[in-house]
Every structure is written in structure tokens, then in C-alpha cells.
Amino acid sequence: MEYDKFGPEKIIQVYDPETGMRGITVIHNTNLGPGKGGIRMTPSVDVEEVYKLAETMTWKNALAGIPFGGAKSGIIANDKALTQEQKDSIVAAFGKAIKNIAPSEYIAGPDMNMAEHEMKVLVEANGENNSATGKPKDMGGLPHELGSTGFGVYHALLTALEFTDLKNPTVAIEGFGNVGTFVMEFLEKKGIKVVAVSDSKGTIFNEEGLDYKELMKVKEESGSVINYGDGKKLDSKEIVSLDVDILVPAAIPDLINENNKNSIKAKLIVCGSNIAMSEEIEEEFHEKEILIIPDFVANAGGVISSYIETINGTSEEMFMLVEKNITENTNEVLEKSKENKISPRKAAMEIAVKRVEEGKNEII
């Protein structure tokens, strides 16, 4: 773990003998506001992992243009080995244990094995409605099912297109879940052709374009996009090497790696998923003039939605702010990248660091 001028400000470890709950919260930096970041529940989560995630949230929230610092939590437990009742009692114990910091210094949210139901349990035990976001609608929550992340990725893609000479581009989307489905829906409405989509079972590819409604129906009825009637069925891994203009990774980490990086034909990659490739590969692509929109620029729709939830805003306000902030930030990052001849990730980090140093993010 590295300590520097930005943090970490607090590392908190909590334990409840009654439930056996063991939890960690790292508040990395609060220059812009209370630390914001999700809680994951895994058997292996440790201080180092939580610290790295908390630091990432500092830069992500700064770049998203919202008044949140960076933080993250982990509960050390094997959720597969717990009954719902046991899990609820552990989550409630954690909610009580962080009472003195949440929501004044830390605002939680869903992450691995922690969803809307767990946020409800945590908030009820904590006693403060704003101690977490991602709550059920009847508690003032803005469900991620509204598509905030996918909507943001879509706007990052539209903005990035203006920095390329691509005309009538073709798009491939890796992952047809909570991010990929919405990206495709918005692209189709805009008249941009999606020619390939993948999920864990395989890839479906049709040069003429795929139909969003039909894909959704097939996925719902059969469990996979691979059963879409009209198109070539390929392996999941083949999505990255298709001859398309734009690739949108929207599911697994390290999708683009040492083994497949040289097979990429896309000229623009918009990272909907976290860590779709290493920073080293991003730099290599920059040298090759492949334009990359980094994850924490493109997929910040979720954290912007969290901010709107904390001020009791509406879904309309959320969509407006996601469009505004992601369009402006993508534009600022790509202008700086072009001007200073540095990769978009380096440009984005410089902007985020400057905002944290100045300690201000003005909304609207």
C-alpha cells in the first residue's frame, strides 16, 4: 500500500463477534466530498484490494464531475455458503459498525455479491437513508436497471466519434448484460449499426446489423444471444478480433490481453467494463493510433446516478447529468490528449488529479 499526499485518509477494520462479521472500509480521499464506493463480499477481500479500489474511486468520481471523494468497503465472507438470513445479519452488523462514518465521510453502494436488497438491510441497520445508494425505489433508490452506465458509455462513444474520421461505423459489443444491452439500445435508436454481440456462450455476427428487440427476446427466452437466427455463430473470444470500426468491452476484465492485442482491427475502443485491458496495452494502442476511451471516463454513469440518488433526484435529472458530464469529460480528455500528445488515460488522470488538488467539482 502506498501513502501519498492524496491518501489513504482512513483504514477502518470492524468486527462483530455475534455474527462473525469482519469488514474493511478504506477512505482514500475526501477533498471533493464524502468518500463514495461500493461494498463487495468475498472470502478473499483484504485491505490491499480495498485500498486499490478506493483510490480508483477517487479518480473516477473526480473525473465524473460529482462532489464525492473515493472510498471502498469489503466484507470478508463467502456469500455462497450463507443463508439469506445469515447474510442479512452480517450486512446489518456492518451497517451498524460504520455508523460513525456513514454517510458523513463514506457513502456505500452495491458491488460484488451485494445488491439492492443488501443496501436496504445496510441502510435500515445504519439508520441513515443516505448511508448507501443503489437502494430499492421505494427508499428513494435509482435502480441501475434504468441503464445509467450504458447511457454514459453511449455518450462517450458519440463524443469520441467526433475525434475520428469514421463514417457510418460498425460496432461490436462484448457482453450483453446490464451495460451492453443499453449501449446497443441507444446506438440503434441513433442509427448506428451494431454488427456483433457476445455473451459467455458465444458471439453472434451479422455484417448487415443485428436487431436489438429480437436479440433481447432471444436472450430472455433461450439464455444466450448465440441463438439469434440470422448471423454467424462464433466463440465468445472472437468478438475482439472482428473487422469492425468500434469495439465496446462491456463485461469481463482483461478482455484485451497479450494473447489477442495484435488481432484488434477496431479503430475506437470505448471501455464500458472496468480494466478491459492493462494500462500498458492502452499506451501501445495510443502509439498505433487506436483511440481508447478509458473505463473511468466512459462508465461513470453509475456513480453519477449514485450522486443524483443522494440528492433525491429523479431519473430524468440523472439522464441529463450523465449526458452532460460524460460528453463534457470525454471531450476534455480527448482535447487534452490531442494537444499534449499523450494517451487519453494519462490526460484523464491529469484532469482528475487537478480536480482533487483544487478540491472542487461544481455540479451543473
Catalytic residues: 72
Extract the C-alpha cell encoding 297.
471516463
Alpha-carbon distance 7 to 2, whole Å?
8
Longest dimension (CA), the chain: 62
Other Cβ atoms less than 10 A from the Cβ of 117: the count is 15
Beta-ladder partners of 205: 196, 232
Alpha-carbon distance 325 to 352, whole Å?
13
DSSP string, 221-272: HHSSGGG-SSSEEE-GGGGGGSS-SEEEE-S-TT-S-TTTGGG---SEEE--
DSSP string, 131-200: GBSS--GGGT---GGG-HHHHHHHHHHHHHHTTS--SS-EEEEE--STTHHHHHHHHHHHTPEEEEEEET
DSSP state of 307: H
